[in-house]
Structure 1
Amino acid sequence: MNAITSARHLSATATAALLTPFLALLAIAFLLPLGVLLYESLFVPAPTVQHYAKVFDDPVYVRVLWRTLRISAIVTVATLVLAYPLALVMTRSRGAVLALLVACVLLPLWTSVLVRTYAWTVILQRNGIVNQLLQELGWTSGPVRLLYTEGAVALAMAHVLLPFMVLPIWAALRNIPDDYARAAAMLGASPLRIFVEIVWPLSRPGVASGCLMVFLLSMGFFVTPALIGGPQQMMMATLVSQQVRELLNWPFAGALVGCLLVVTLGLVLAFNRTLGLDRFVGSR
């Protein structure tokens, strides 16, 4: 018993030692700046909630918050629609085909977000590839405004965040034993029924993880909305940066961060209650 207790003690000590660098980095790079911003939003220049009241009193800031939530939801749905069929194909592929598909999924992660965003700027501008193609096909008589729109922002963000949806779904689908589908087919189940009653329920952990990851990343996206959307399609991250870097209004920036944090935590809790993400994680 003493040997088992000693081994467990050493294991706990080793675990704590391994986690210490990560926890220290998390505290210094994330928790400390966040705490400073939240403190200034509540106690600078004196204990007050006027900065938070300003967020909801001015309709401009409410529209920015609503736009952030709306675009994040659109990007999440778009990436799910694109990622699930691709993950299914990857699950059923082997050899060189699978390697090619994996490379195509991971390729955006190997390229800078800034480079990908500028590529979309070239594609969607007034004299870009899309406008030239539309005019050559006779679908439009002149250039169409594609850049600096909400659709352009959602499209570019979905392209950047697609791997974060594909990989969790692919991992969940790969963990489904092939015997389940074969047994259902031998019992007379159609491919549609196999998908609805077997594949989809068992892949929900990957879907839940991917949706949550993409939605949270979309909420804090900065480079792509700033370049593709411009001032007309400003999102919360761009607004916070403007308050900190240009207006030097740190207390109000902290209030914006606090509101975004509360909304995000509320949505995560609602998402967890709806899809049971904690049950999925605990069952793996």
Structure 2
Amino acid sequence: MSSNKIKWSSWPLLVPALALLAGILLVPLADTFIRSVSAPGTYTNLLTDGVTMTVLWRTVVTAATVTVAALLIGYPYAYLMTRVSPRARGILLVIVLIPFWTSVMARNFAWIIILQDGGPVQSLFAFFGAEDVVLYGSTAGVTIAMTQVMLPFMVLPLFSTLGGIDRRLLLAARGLGSSPTAAFWKVFWPLSRGGVMAGVILVFTLSLGFYVTPALLGSPQESLVAQLLAQRTTLLLDFAAAGALGMVVLVVTLVLVAWANRMGGTVSAIGVVAASPPKDR
């Protein structure tokens, strides 16, 4: 009885958080949905508009490319973090967290300098004879910069998951005759899929709505969905179409998160990922 009273008496503590959530998220979402259905045929026009569908497809492809690149870079990095000494692990963790401590605008302007015409990257390609490579103002340049920005969102969930895997399972597999490669794919990889799914969904969903990097490094001819939303709200004042597009992106995000949770990945807050470093086994 006393336990139930304690539980019920704790519910009022949620009121400030729920009020804040309703004020800054639920109310604007409801207003956006109402605007999107206020004009007849908004969703039909959205799905039949060639320009909008092209931008949506380009956004999905870019987000998928960024996700794959972040996974290919982040998985070995996170694995290395679980194998080194605590001091080296701390250094590697600081390197991952540096983007969080740097202004988004500063990072993007740094990428502009790196990728611009005559910049270091183009000079490097020209040195090897590829003088026609242009990254600034292209989807390729946006993808490279977004991968760097999104990499921590892949590394931290992976680090949390990989650090919790018992290495003795690999030794047991080796003792039963498995090669190192077979032991990794049959033992280690299946146990790490939860962290992989969490990182993939975090990076992919954040990439779908990313605005600053595509706006600064991309071009209007190769815009992504966030740029299209900004154009329809600030220039065209077409709030109904912008709301419908935003709701479509939201539904896609919710479906992906639900699918990730069903597949065994959990999309949780990454702030506690590094709270307890893995023990060396």
Inter-partner Cα distance in structure 1 for 2:229 and 2:109: 22
1:250 counterpart residue number? 239
Shift of 1:269: 4.2
Identify if the C-alpha distance between structure 1 residues 96 and 266 changes in structure 2 by more than 3 Å, giving closer, same or farther: closer
Task: Give the count of matched residue pairs.
Answer: 266
2:187 corresponds to 1:198: yes
1:74 counterpart residue number? 65
Q: Give the gaps of 5 or more residues in structure 2.
A: 267-281
2:38 counterpart residue number? 43
Inter-partner Cα distance in structure 2 for 1:219 and 1:121: 21
2:89 corresponds to 1:98: yes
Inter-partner Cα distance in structure 2 for 1:180 and 1:18: 43
1:110 counterpart residue number? 101
One-letter amino acid of the counterpart of residue 155, structure 2: V
One-letter amino acid of the counterpart of residue 249, structure 2: L
Q: 1:187 aligns with which of 170, 176, 190?
A: 176
Q: What SS class does the counterpart of residue 165 from structure 2 fall into?
A: coil
Residue 126 of structure 1 contacts residue 144 of structure 1 at CA under 8 Å; is this kept in 2?
no
Inter-partner Cα distance in structure 2 for 1:195 and 1:246: 53
Inter-partner Cα distance in structure 2 for 1:18 and 1:180: 43
Alignment of 1:227-266 (within 5 A): 227-266=216-255
- Give the TM-score, by structure 1 length: 0.87
Q: What SS class does the counterpart of residue 68 from structure 1 fall into?
A: helix
Considering fraction of residues, name the structure with more helix.
1
- Give the TM-score, by structure 2 length: 0.88
Alignment of 1:7-26 (within 5 A): 7-14=3-10, 16-26=11-21
Moved over 4 A (4+): 269-273
One-letter amino acid of the counterpart of residue 99, structure 2: P
2:277 counterpart residue number? none
1:281 counterpart residue number? none
Inter-partner Cα distance in structure 2 for 1:62 and 1:103: 40
2:115 counterpart residue number? 124
Shift of 1:96: 2.4
1:151 counterpart residue number? 140
Identify if the C-alpha distance between structure 1 residues 138 and 262 changes in structure 2 by more than 3 Å, giving closer, same or farther: closer
Please give the root-mean-square deviation of Cα atoms over the aligned residues, in Å.
1.8
Q: Mean Cα displacement is larger for which, 148-157 or 21-30?
A: 21-30
Inter-partner Cα distance in structure 1 for 2:209 and 2:152: 17
One-letter amino acid of the counterpart of residue 65, structure 1: L
Shift of 1:68: 1.1
Shift of 1:270: 4.6
Q: What SS class does the counterpart of residue 237 from structure 2 fall into?
A: coil
Inter-partner Cα distance in structure 1 for 2:175 and 2:128: 52
Inter-partner Cα distance in structure 2 for 1:138 and 1:262: 45
Inter-partner Cα distance in structure 1 for 2:261 and 2:162: 21
